[in-house]
Chains A and B, each alone.
Chain A
Amino acid sequence: MTNLEKLNAIFCEVFGVEVSALGTEFDNKSVEGWDSVRQLSLTTAVEDTFDIMLDPEDILEFTSYDNAKTILGKYEIEL
């Protein structure tokens, strides 16, 4: 499984969507049920999967699929 596939699997699991739903439009404004609890579930799963510790600022910025990819880049996770 590639890192991108791992990230996609996390989003699909947390939000209960198909991979095809993920894209630039997938963010906390357009996705129903993307609240702070869901966001923490998302970041916890990302930390577990990639064995990293996100800074609080990055957790706050984890508000879209695109942001997630950018933030993982900061932690040298190649997608």
Chain B
Amino acid sequence: MERLLERKICLVTGAGRGIGRVIANQLASDGAVVYAADLVMDDMEPWAAEKSTECDTKIVPVVMDVTDTAAVKAGLMSIHKTEGRIDVVVNNAAIIQNQKLGMVTKPMLEKMFAVNVFAVIDMMQIVSRLMARTGGGSIVNIASITGVVGSPGQVAYSSTKGAVISATKSAAKELSPMQIRVNAVAPGIIKTERFEELYEASGDKIDQRISRIALGRLGTPQDVANAVAFLASDRASYISGHILGVDGCASI
């Protein structure tokens, strides 16, 4: 049986660790050729070699700063020249900093918008032109439930994710004539390595939030990866401009 993303050419940003790494693993398991981008190479080479063999596909680690437009353009052109097309881009790279409103500094706010918003728009702008040449594609942006409902201590972060949601909806409308679908996944509370650290620092508050998750458990990076794989695939071929909550039916 053919796999969900067999031979699709995919780029995942922020794939060096956390949710991005799990997304890259899932796309590879589904048969995609995965270009895994992150700021530093770190352990990406041995991981890519091992996973490529395991999934009988190709994972290519790429060092890419998503805020460097020239580097992004060169990276995308290189993939396009090598593979002949780019089918899927997952804009996962992001900065998360939680601060109360009174402690939000301008430099941090600018940095978060540079990575979480401007880089996503940049990527969509460049890759859509390449996708248009080959008849379309799928862009999946990683938003957040906080971008929809807000959250105390996340004024800066949630505003970047709200912007991602708006950009997703508008880009979907604009790129539909070129058969480019644009969707976003909006995770709720996901049990990542960073979450473990946060839990140690303020477990009581987090327990309160978990109690408001209707499905009664935290989300996992795999839950997010499953949603991304679906939206990336042809099974979502009539879905665009959608913000898919992966939040366990939460009300945070």
Known: A53-B73, A53-B77. A44 touches B132 (CB 8 A): yes
Q: Which residues of the other chain, A, contact B236 by a CB distance below 8 angstroms?
A: none
Q: Considering the chains assembled together, what is the distance between the CA atoms of A47 and B132 in angstroms?
A: 11
B3 within 8 Å of A by Cβ? Answer: no
B126 within 8 Å of A by Cβ? Answer: yes
Contact with B along A49-79 (1 / 0, CB 8 A): 0000100100000000000000000000000
B125:A44 contact, CB within 8 angstroms: no
Q: Considering the chains assembled together, what is the distance between the CA atoms of A47 and B77 in angstroms?
A: 12
A47:B129 contact, CB within 8 angstroms: yes
Q: Which residues of the other chain, B, contact A48 by a CB distance below 8 angstroms?
A: 133
B180 to chain A, nearest CB (A): 13
Q: Which residues of the other chain, A, contact B73 by a CB distance below 8 angstroms?
A: 53
A53:B126 contact, CB within 8 angstroms: yes
B125:A56 contact, CB within 8 angstroms: yes
Contact with A along B128-155 (1 / 0, CB 8 A): 0110110000000000000000000000
Q: Which residues of the other chain, A, contact B129 by a CB distance below 8 angstroms?
A: 44, 47, 53
Which residue among A44, A47, A53, A56 has the maximum number of chain B CB atoms within 10 Å of its CB? A53
The binding surface of chain A is classed by DSSP as: helix
Q: Considering the chains assembled together, what is the distance between the CA atoms of A53 and B130 in angstroms?
A: 9
Q: How many A-B residue pairs have CB under 8 A?
A: 13
Q: Which residues of the other chain, B, contact A56 by a CB distance below 8 angstroms?
A: 125
Chain B, Cβ-Cβ closest to A51: B81
Q: Which residues of the other chain, A, contact B132 by a CB distance below 8 angstroms?
A: 44
Contact with A along B50-89 (1 / 0, CB 8 A): 0000000000000000000000010011000000000000
Contact with B along A9-50 (1 / 0, CB 8 A): 000000000000000000000000000000000001001100
B177 to chain A, nearest CB (A): 10
Q: Which residues of the other chain, B, contact A53 by a CB distance below 8 angstroms?
A: 73, 76-77, 126, 129-130
Chain A, Cβ-Cβ closest to B125: A56
Q: Considering the chains assembled together, what is the distance between the CA atoms of A4 and B6 in angstroms?
A: 40
Q: Which residues of the other chain, A, contact B76 by a CB distance below 8 angstroms?
A: 53
Chain B, Cβ-Cβ closest to A47: B129
Chain B, Cβ-Cβ closest to A56: B125
B191 to chain A, nearest CB (A): 39
Q: Considering the chains assembled together, what is the distance between the CA atoms of A44 and B129 in angstroms?
A: 7
Contact with A along B93-137 (1 / 0, CB 8 A): 000000000000000000000000000000001100110110000
Chain B, Cβ-Cβ closest to A43: B129
Which B181-214 residues have a C-beta within 8 angstroms of A?
A: none
B229 to chain A, nearest CB (A): 28
Q: Which residues of the other chain, B, contact A47 by a CB distance below 8 angstroms?
A: 129, 133
Binding site for A on B (CB under 8 A): 73, 76-77, 125-126, 129-130, 132-133
Q: Which 10 A-B pairs have the closest CB atoms?
A: A53-B73, A48-B133, A53-B77, A47-B129, A44-B132, A53-B126, A53-B129, A44-B129, A56-B125, A47-B133
